[in-house]
Amino acid sequence: MKAVPKPIVDYSLPVVALVGRPNVGKSTMFNRLTSSHFAIVEDQPGVTRDRRYGNCEYDGRQFRVVDTGGIDFTAEGSIAVGMRRQAEMAIAEADVVLLIVDGQHGLLPDDREIFVKLRRAGKKILLVANKIDGPRHESHVNDMYELGCREIFGVSAAHGRGMPDLLDAILLALPVEEEEAQHVEPPLADFEHDDTALSEDALAAIEQAESAHEEDDGPGDEGPDTVSEADLSKDVIRIALVGRPNAGKSSLVNTLCGEERMLVDSTPGTTRDPIDTPILHGGQRFSLIDTAGIRRRVRVHEPSDRIAMTMAERAIERADVAVLVIDASEGIGEMDARIAGLVADAGRVLLIALNKRDLVPAARMKEIEAELDRKLQFVPWAHRMWCSAHTQKGVLKILDEATRCYRSFASRVKTSALNRFFAGIVEKHPPPLFQGKPIRLYYITQAQTRPPTFVVSVNYTEGMHFSYRRYLQNQLRETFGFVGTPIRLLARAKTK
Ligand code: GDP
Ligand code: GDP
């Protein structure tokens, strides 16, 4: 038998890391990705025992695959600790991380936590639900959209099902090669809106809050404690209607752009962009994003899901408020959840318009709302309303509701009120210990608006558990009456 020459390891190749709990199928995935004739598994000295490297070549591109899963969990103490180490390795060296979960089991708290950690580190994550061996397992995948990623890859590493889509996505997510750099589609399942991406202004605000805190009394602001009632009526609220093809977007746009509301002037502040449409309702100015695009689309052809997602994404990017239009007579689909995820990810107001109410018998309405609760449980803060572009009932309420939610979106809470709130919370419900050590929360500040973004100063940022963050967010929402807007909460290590 002829010996196969051993290829040289190319360290300049991009790295794709496999991360996940034990038994989710990391080594099966590793073998699948590296099983081409090209594959090599490095066994030379210097490669640590808890990593395995191999090469993969697909569609003319090569990348290295690292299986970080060789960590001995019993020696490490716990799965959580082991996964944290895997994540750290992946963060250190990977260009793309495949977070592999057991698609037959659904998400576990460890999966969620690792997801949040990777995302916070700004890593490109592809969420892979493995063990989807056949159509009967596919429904499990839909439940995972609660994490808010735009795409989940249901695959079977053992049988190869779903691998081409995953490989396509990996190639899209890899760093761009020189010659490709001219034009690339934005990578799918990439989290560009990582919540650590704070503006310069926001960072300056935090610094200021930090020094104010040192002096032990916050900026002296008087007035009402609740969300500030700044005069936002001069703002132009940018609204994007997004949703599946045929949900009724262009019909709604036509109603919203009724003659009595159309603005023909070009007052400063109203958009001049010919693809957007300025309108006026209840004394408030709005700009309907990409109206031309929405109208054109119906006449040409129906876009594929992927194109529809990209268009939605672009519109969301430019909007303050995203109205997710759903054809309620069809129920809530997976794509609706994915679009909702995009909106949450981008940190925009999400309004859910359950359209075609005229086609839904009254007795079905409750069921549809329950389905919505279930499938969009990751955006419990989103407001919903029923409407019908056909009868025009409820359509203008979209604008009223957008105005209301926008106020929360753009509001700032007084520092003094925030500090009082925080002292109460910390006393009433302190965070759980982190590795046996107490978590100290020093102070909180609102660093940004649109969406409201709060920064908590803490001794160990890793100690701010997901569930405690969620708790703080809910308390902020309740106490200060934020409606319809996502709230971001960042933990920041206290600087000396
Ligand atoms: P690791 O601990 O994450 O590296 O997981 P392994 O690759 O060792 O797989 C754990 C178990 O899951 C093994 O029994 C595999 O045969 C099984 N497994 C892996 N991939 C699949 C799959 O796609 N479908 C099914 N049904 N089982 C799988
Ligand atoms: P788009 O692809 O989301 O822009 O959807 P369209 O606005 O083109 O609507 C798709 C189809 O649904 C068209 O035939 C519309 O007439 C119909 N439609 C839209 N809204 C309603 C509604 O509220 N009730 C009913 N019965 N049909 C509607």
Q: Which domain holds residue 209?
A: 200-228+411-493
Q: With a 6 A CB cut-off, is 249 part of the ligand 2 pocket? A: yes
248 CA to middle of ligand 2, Å?
4
Do 241 and 341 reside in the same domain of the chain?
A: yes
Note the Cα 148 to chain centre separation in Å: 4
Q: For a ligand 1 pocket test, name from 18, 19, 21, 28 the mutation site with the most ligand atoms within 8 angstroms of its C-beta.
A: 28
For position 249, what pLDDT does the model report?
A: 92
411 CA to middle of ligand 2, Å?
35
Q: Is residue 30 part of a domain?
A: yes
pLDDT at 163 exceeding the cut of 50: yes
Do 39 and 138 reside in the same domain of the chain?
A: yes
Last residue of a domain, one of 408, 433, 451: 408
Do 416 and 395 reside in the same domain of the chain?
A: no
Q: Is residue 187 part of a domain?
A: no
Q: Is residue 71 part of a domain?
A: yes
pTM beyond 0.85: no
Do 253 and 295 reside in the same domain of the chain?
A: yes
Q: What is the β-pairing status of strands 61-67 and 52-58?
A: antiparallel
For position 7, what pLDDT does the model report?
A: 45
Q: With a 6 A CB cut-off, is 230 part of the ligand 2 pocket? A: no
Do 396 and 437 reside in the same domain of the chain?
A: no
- When divided into structural domains, the chain yields a total of 3
pLDDT at 245 exceeding the cut of 90: no
Do 419 and 485 reside in the same domain of the chain?
A: yes
Do 388 and 245 reside in the same domain of the chain?
A: yes
The CATH code of the domain that includes 48 is: 3.40.50.300
Query: Is residue 338 left, alpha or beta, with left meaning phi > 0 and alpha meaning psi from -120 to 50?
Result: alpha
Do 315 and 451 reside in the same domain of the chain?
A: no
Other C-beta atoms within 10 Å of 416: how many? 16
For position 164, what pLDDT does the model report?
A: 86
For position 55, what pLDDT does the model report?
A: 84
As a whole-number percent, the residues of the chain with pLDDT over 90 amount to 31
Once rounded to an integer, what is the mean pLDDT over residues 219-227? Answer: 46
Residue nearest to ligand 2 atom 10, measured at CA? 246
Do 67 and 214 reside in the same domain of the chain?
A: no
Do 97 and 141 reside in the same domain of the chain?
A: yes
* Angle, CA of 211, 212 and 213, to the nearest 5°: 90
pLDDT at 45 exceeding the cut of 60: no
Q: Is residue 190 part of a domain?
A: no
Q: What is the DSSP string of 396-462?
A: THHHHHHHHHHHHHT----HHHHHHHHHHHHHHSPPPPBTTB---EEEEEEEETTTTEEEEEES-GG
Do 252 and 336 reside in the same domain of the chain?
A: yes
Do 345 and 439 reside in the same domain of the chain?
A: no
Q: Is residue 41 part of a domain?
A: yes
